[in-house]
Structure 1
Amino acid sequence: MTQEPKAVVAGYDGSDEAAAAVRWAARHARAVNCPLNVVHCSMWPLLTKHLGPVPGVSGSGLEQSAQSILEEGVAHAAAEVPGLQIRSTLLHGLPAQLLAQVSTGERLLVVGSRGLGGFLGLLVGSVSLELAATAACPVAVIRRDLHPDGQVVVAVDASGSPAALEDACALATAWQAALTVIHVQHQPPGHQRPATQEAEAEAQRILSSALTHARAAAPGITAEGEVLTDGSVPHAILQASAEARIVVVGSHGQGILRETMGSTAHAVLHHARGPVLISRRGS
């Protein structure tokens, strides 16, 4: 039995932010030569059983409205990339939970920066933030595409951030974009003493190792790196990625729950002006 190729999954709720995410997802699906699955999650079945059409009113009803929203999302993708293989999926329930499920094992999940639940989503918290902390595949949160020809920036920590580095190399290869690898030495505010030679040597070792892996994973791509020192790791990442096409960060946190996201990823996701990719992997 032939298995379907992995897809880029894009959540769509009819908002401008979601439309931008679908268009971005369509371009990326073309770049990596895979299908796009546009998903709309309708929460109306949680609130009412009256989903059918209003008697005598053609095209009415909550279920029909949900289908129309889904079709609109597909139309955005098809207009952005004519000829792209596009699937569509209508689901019923909470968007974060359903999108996490439908994207498991897929190539990438793409969402808009304001979530996928309208005003109800805001009441229960940001759907995009929840997905960045719980999904079992990488999650791209799309804001304004300010630098479409910019470089891919990836931040690596002491572990080398292998998942983030792998995802950044894949993006740079697909887009034929330059790659910038950064490692941040944390210097607490008010701390005046310079880093020791040992600390500086370790930071350079981490960066050098990451660059070696990047150049092997993305041959032909220009890969450069830099060690930064800052009192705030997220601040350094945001400054370094101000003109990036996308910034890639790892997701691991130190919380006691599986559904956690590291404080650095959390801060970057909240404050980045452009697209952010949170590198997640299934457990």
Structure 2
Amino acid sequence: MTQHVTVGIDGSVQSAAAAEWAAREAHRRGLALRMIHVAGTEADALERELGGGAELPGRVAEICDGIAAAWPGLDVTCEVQPGHPAYTLAAASGRAELLVLGSRGLGGFTGLLVGSVGLRTAARSLAPVVLVRAESGRTDAPAAATSADATSADGAPADAAPGDVVVGVEGDRPCDAVLEFAFERAADLGARLRALESRPTSHDVYTTQAPVEQAEIRESLAAAEQVRLQDALARWQDKFPQVRVEVEVCPWSASRALVEASRGASLVVLGRRTARVPLTGPHLGPVVQSVLHHAHAPVAVVPHH
């Protein structure tokens, strides 16, 4: 099968935003776009019983048609698959370069912003997963109508100026898969890469015979942490010399630092270990879950060993 970006669509405003994001990414990378609607809900089952067969539901068909109209040069396919959405989309990720899903975005119901399908899929996907929230105040108009204000030479919607690509890093054990994904996305977008490491402020008291204030010691230690983080990224900066890099050792918790950094960002990139945990199976760590629920930008979850 042709290399492609896969996006799950269910007819919601969120999945329309995800489809538009996926189309832009597929066009930028020269890949095909595969749009999948998983017919696993009670409404889908009722529609099949009433003769709906494997046809795309009305709103899903509108999203597919809107994407095809907005991106005339893009190889787009739309299909219906049976099954549970999370497991079916996770299985489809094994043949994709990237899997894109919609999320409900910011709101007051803080425990349920992404939804169980998004979380379960992100925990099981074999490919990097990007969760995209609908833009604030967006209507449910077809994607073609939301992208018609500017086009590139081939008729596709033109890209806006990119925000930073933000990546969470552990400087003492950086993950190559996560950093490679983040640097590639920054290079593709022409965006700055902002690497963040969380080192919450310590209240330890440091002793020394030299006449040095505690604040000076802490500043010196923070500077050393930043140099260590820069060293951890040096190999990737050599590989992607066109990418501007900013490193920051943040005194906040990792989730708070990444959520704050997501304001105005193009993408937040996090890692997920793929090793299965006995009894619990695949899962997302607390930092990834928190960022998925509260980030202001699309979030990529990259599986790694």
**TM-score > 0.5 by shorter chain:** yes
Superposed, 1:51-62 pairs within 5 Å as 51-53=48-50, 61-62=51-52
- Quote the residue 1:83 is aligned against: 73
The change in CA–CA distance for 1:271 and 1:163 in structure 2 (over 3 A counts) is same
Partners of 1:74 and 1:186 lie apart in 2 by: 45
The change in CA–CA distance for 1:105 and 1:44 in structure 2 (over 3 A counts) is closer
Per-residue deviation, 1:259:
0.5
- Quote the residue 1:25 is aligned against: 22
Gaps of 5+ in 2: 106-111, 137-159, 206-214
Does the 8 A contact of 1:21 with 1:111 survive in 2? yes
Q: Choose which of 6, 11, 14 in structure 2 pairs with 1:9.
A: 6
TM-score, scaled to structure 1: 0.80
- Alignment pair present for 1:222 and 2:244: yes
Partners of 1:46 and 1:73 lie apart in 2 by: 18
| Secondary structure of 1:90 counterpart | strand
- Quote the residue 1:103 is aligned against: 93
Superposed, 1:200-215 pairs within 5 Å as 200=222, 203-215=225-237
With 31-40 and 235-244 compared, the bigger mean Cα shift is at: 235-244
| Secondary structure of 1:186 counterpart | coil
The change in CA–CA distance for 1:211 and 1:234 in structure 2 (over 3 A counts) is same
Does the 8 A contact of 2:123 with 2:284 survive in 1? yes
Superposed, 1:28-43 pairs within 5 Å as 28-43=25-40
- Quote the residue 1:234 is aligned against: 255
- Alignment pair present for 1:246 and 2:246: no
Determine what percentage of the aligned residue pairs are the same residue: 32
Q: Choose which of 154, 178, 197 in structure 1 pairs with 2:167.
A: 154
Deviation readout 1:38-64 (Å, 9 max, x if unpaired): 0000015898588255xxxxxxx3335
| Secondary structure of 1:260 counterpart | coil
Superposed, 1:105-124 pairs within 5 Å as 105-114=95-104
The change in CA–CA distance for 1:73 and 1:250 in structure 2 (over 3 A counts) is same
Letter of the 2:27 counterpart: R
Partners of 1:26 and 1:241 lie apart in 2 by: 22
| Secondary structure of 1:38 counterpart | strand
Does the 8 A contact of 2:47 with 2:53 survive in 1? no
C-alpha root-mean-square deviation of aligned residues, in Å?
3.0
The change in CA–CA distance for 1:253 and 1:91 in structure 2 (over 3 A counts) is closer
Partners of 2:239 and 2:195 lie apart in 1 by: 13
Partners of 2:184 and 2:21 lie apart in 1 by: 16
The change in CA–CA distance for 1:198 and 1:163 in structure 2 (over 3 A counts) is farther
Partners of 1:29 and 1:210 lie apart in 2 by: 30
Per-residue deviation, 1:235:
0.6
The change in CA–CA distance for 1:183 and 1:77 in structure 2 (over 3 A counts) is same
| Secondary structure of 1:251 counterpart | strand
Does the 8 A contact of 1:38 with 1:70 survive in 2? no
Partners of 1:161 and 1:145 lie apart in 2 by: 31
With 138-147 and 126-135 compared, the bigger mean Cα shift is at: 138-147
Partners of 1:109 and 1:91 lie apart in 2 by: 16
